[in-house]
Chains A and B, each alone.
Chain A
Amino acid sequence: DAGVTQSPTHLIKTRGQQVTLRCSPKSGHDTVSWYQQALGQGPQFIFQYYEEEERQRGNFPDRFSGHQFPNYSSELNVNALLLGDSALYLCASRTAGEATDTQYFGPGTRLTVL
């Protein structure tokens, strides 16, 4: 049973560029959340997708956008990259109908903005 997968593993971009990160949820899961983790900090919630719509959003600017596909996989897009966007980006999945909100995380994508 495959867990949550993310691609790419590492990415280097320059300021002002745009980036797309990808996530495939754990088998049987239909809800995907994205988190940003700066060095030395706990992950911070960006947004959550369910039924191909953004359902909840954290305190992140509109430069951060996403998409969910019919197969439940998801993309995170960041436009106009800033140095401060350098972080580990984590994807987590769960089943919407499950009351406990146990989420399963992928290994993350390490984004470096130069």
Chain B
Amino acid sequence: DAKTTQPNSMESNEEEPVHLPCNHSTISGTDYIHWYRQLPSQGPEYVIHGLTSNVNNRMASLAIAEDRKSSTLILHRATLRDAAVYYCILTYGYGGSQGNLIFGKGTKLSVKP
């Protein structure tokens, strides 16, 4: 299974943008890049996913490198509610999937008021 590498922790100030990096140098052509986040005492929450092109939704933006070996989750204006552990996960995207999300330790984001 393709693996991802993320920093253990990051800090941000409230209302400032946050860029969360993820390296996935062994990604294959059919792997989707997913981001989930987990707030304290809650289940993981889907944030965004992409394949090759940059993606935007109401929660965040996903910037994918041209060679797809890295990606960056962008929170445009961090709020205190964005303090969570962020997981970058690759999923096999050919005709349905293996169904097995492999979580690493993720990046713990702290947001200061």
**Residues of A bordering B, CB below 8 Å:** 4, 31, 33, 35, 41-45, 48, 50, 55-56, 58, 90, 92, 94, 96-108
Contact = CB atoms under 8 A, between A and B. Distances in A.
A2 B87 CA distance: 24
Contacts, number: 78
A102 B49 contact: yes
A76 B27 CA distance: 32
Nearest to B103: A42
Interface of B: 32, 34, 36, 42-46, 49, 51, 85, 87, 91-106
A103 B42 contact: no
Contacts of B51: 100
Given A55-B99, A108-B43, A102 B34 contact: yes
Contacts of A94: 99
- Which of B43, B87, B96 gathers most chain A CB within 10 Å? B43
